[in-house]
Structure 1
């Protein structure tokens, strides 16, 4: 792969865009562009970055023929990706336009529809050939490109511009998309990941969470961003954020305390994940154990069971914890008190108070 640099051209253009991963208006003189050249395909993918080296987006210049009724015109368009590989938008040079059959230019509504279709990664346009999109005309009729689209496919293309829709969608969601993501992955730093975690698009945030370095300590900014997701309203973001935390990250006492601090306000499912994740920690902070003890009397049966299993896994058997669990033996809910009893029996404490509490429970 050869690395080339070039300067962006200026001029009025027709532009349709979705929300950017990293927002902000960057004047022309505050960005630079790098072209990644594939010598096998003679195809270039351009990265636009800020003066500080922050990647902003990628684009590719597309020049191809679009044919209708055996007549062709050259399509000149620039397509854009966000740095996570997500579709960003398209741009036409001044005087250029997209057209349908009979060379009728797109309306504003049709440009908007194309923009929405290209932004949808779930269209099945990558799994079928273009010929399958249309009702092929008779052999002596006009070429297949001008055939009518089928009823199902009409929902996936701009009417009268099936080929244009199909071609652009496959360019945007084909190998170039993976290449974009791969190029960004090579540039990831904790600072860049944190920027992506603040994207207005949830798929960007999930993308960044799934690429957090599993081996090195999390920066304070990353820890704060992750914890905000865990206590947030979006379950999938919270789920992905908890999964992004590793045993290596949990070497940091501050992260252990922050993660358990989210426990009281998290949803029930996320609470179970938090305790399961803390089970993976290489050790438990004494401060964490102390804080968890203060919650024992407020927990329901499922929550108590999770935490007692967590204690058992880490060999938590100090006197203060044993005494706190012994208090639960007085709970009228037999399911709850029985879990405390089972834990204490395995703990095998010689403390007189705990032994007396167990004997009293057994006589009930």
Structure 2
């Protein structure tokens, strides 16, 4: 199901839809969505496929909610930035031991909040559940979930509640988000996760809604509104809902300078376009100041502030990036979007 697109974007949007559908078929996703905002207006809504490969699965609709997997980090990021704004976290350069002294001092003595939110902390957990250090904090980059876990726990301690509850009070309720939530119960609107095409689909549900599990489900339109909130620097319908400084913290480059110039730049978890980086998820033609977040099942939120564009791409298949050379496909999509609106 597609919404009619007016010129001058018709041909370019058609090409993007074809690209999205090709990846869907190539990787075995049962569902795909492309949703585009330009100047805070919907340019395109494209919904295709079903909630799973099962015969009687529900067709994807505007109210279908996708598990956004690791893209939930953008929500955690906003909560961390709120904690910084509230001075409950003093600065990004505070050592994590200041807040969690029970951690192994020998391993984390040089790890700061900045390292944890930019994937440069150097920590990981082995198969036995023991923490170890891969590299000196701030010198290298590695995507590891332990940083997410630590920051999630820290916010819970600071506010006495999960960060989803903090966001509900401070953001969601104020801008009317009703199709965004950490789900623990089955609902026909929730899109299943595909592991392998010939295996039963996964529900993606969690056991709690405190943000400690990967059970955040969002409709494409509310994912786009989330991006628009950031693009507008916290303003919605002319009202400043989130302080502009909070958004700026999340979406500007926050990592230290790496010795390896190919490593990606990050805000608070977001991939941010400073100087184009070889290992970044953002293509070289993406305008400076743009930013993106994505999850393992393929949900992608791309924000191009200089072009006033927000793009949502949704799939429901694990490792639905496009192929083994996944960075190429991620970069190619963002380049195609940039070319269309430049």
TM interval, shorter chain, is: under 0.3
Greater relative contact order structure (CA < 8 Å, 6+ sep) = 2
Higher share of residues assigned helix: 1
**Quick check: which has more Rg, 1 or 2?**
1
